[in-house]
Amino acid sequence: MTLTWTTEEKQLLKCNIFAQGINPKELNNAELPTDIHLVEYTVGETLYVDSVRAYKAVDIFDAYFDKLAGTGEIRSITNGYGNIKPKLFNGVAPADA
């Protein structure tokens, strides 16, 4: 079970949850913006990976730290994915992610 974000929570975030519960090995960097970060977190004993768009990793950390409070923990936030400049990217998250 990945994290569930309400519409109100998403509007208050300084980041954009691009896709949840992804497999990092299946990322196609040629189709992603350069501001994509991968967030690895655990809920219970299960590891999840989300792709999140943000200018600064601290914005992602703040959102996930608050959301996971008492139920899980952030394992890592990594960047360096994607090949498209963010202002030129107009795609959407994969539907099957």
Domain ranges of the chain: 20-85
Give pLDDT tens digits for 26-74. 888 888 999 999 999 999 999 999 999 998 999 999 999 999 998 999 9
- Tell me what the mean pLDDT of segment 16-28 comes to: 91
Give residue 94's pLDDT.
Answer: 56
Question: In degrees rounded to 5, what are phi and psi of residue 41?
Answer: -145, 160
User: Measuring CA to CA, which residue among 20, 57, 58, 22 is closest to residue 37?
Assistant: 57
Q: Could you tell me the pLDDT band of residue 96, with boundaries at 50, 70 and 90?
A: very low
13 within 8 A of 7, measured Cβ to Cβ: no
- Taken in order 61, 96, 88, 84, is the CA torsion positive or negative? positive
The length of the chain is 97
Would you say residue 14 has pLDDT above 70? yes
- Taken in order 68, 48, 61, 55, is the CA torsion positive or negative? negative
Give residue 93's pLDDT.
Answer: 64
Q: What is the pTM of this model?
A: 0.87
